[in-house]
Amino acid sequence: MLKVNIWNIAFTVVNLLVLYLFMAHFLFAPVSKILEERKAMIEGDLDKAGQAKADAEQMKAQYETSMGNAEKEAARLIADAKARAGEAYDKAMEQARADAARQMEEARRTIALEREKAMSDLQAGVAGLAMTAAAKLLSEQAGPEGDRNLYNRFLAESGEAND
């Protein structure tokens, strides 16, 4: 059977205590220190990642704001350009209408002057023919034979002048 020896149990307990103290001093403390350092390093990395995420969110918000402002600015610029183009078109059309009206008035005046000149030339021509006819009438003898000759000569000369 088994015997229980007290000294054997006491030495075993003392050996276990010494082994525990050695392990606590040389193994547990350095391992705990390493684990604490790793924990601190991981927490630092997590803090940096959180800060980077917050910075990224802030940059995203700024980007979205600037894009919204850019779209508003682009819409405003387009509206301004359309307004300026409309004003320029209206101005050009008004200028064209004024030019057309001025040219039409000039054309009417020119036509009226030409008509007056043609009428005065025609009146002068008719007056000259009438004077020529009257002079011929007076220079020739009156009578039916003289009238007929005078009439035929007048027609012949008028026909040559018109050709």
Task: Tell me the pLDDT tens digit for each residue of 38-97.
Answer: 999 999 999 999 999 999 999 999 999 999 899 999 999 999 999 999 999 999 999 999
Confidence at residue 155, expressed as pLDDT on a 0 to 100 scale: 80
pLDDT of residue 137: 65
In a domain, 92, yes or no: yes
* Between 133 and 142, the higher pLDDT residue: 133
76 inside domain: yes
CA atoms within 13 A on the CB side of 58: 6
129 burial level (CB within 10 Å; 0-12, 13-18, 19+): middle
User: Does the pLDDT of residue 136 top 80, yes or no?
Assistant: no
Instruction: Extract the tokens encoding 127.
Output: 């007056």
Q: Give the pLDDT band of residue 129 (cuts 50, 70, 90).
A: confident
User: Does residue 88 form part of some domain?
Assistant: yes
**Alpha helix ranges (H) inside the chain:** 6-23, 29-139, 144-162
What number is the average pLDDT over the span 141-154? 72
Inside any domain, residue 25:
yes
Q: Is residue 151 part of a domain?
A: no
**Would you place residue 1 in the very low, low, confident or very high pLDDT band (cuts 50, 70, 90)?**
low
In a domain, 156, yes or no: no
Write down the pLDDT at residue 5.
87
In a domain, 137, yes or no: no
**163 has pLDDT over 60:** no
- The answer to whether 137 and 150 have CB atoms below 8 angstroms apart is yes
CB atoms within 10 A of CB 82: 10
Residues 6+ apart with CB under 8 A from 150: 133, 136, 137, 140
Note whether residue 41 is domain-resident: yes
What is d(CA 114, CA 97) in angstroms, rounded to the nearest whole number? 25
**Which domain covers residue 20, as residue numbers?**
6-115
If one counts the domains in the chain, the total is 1
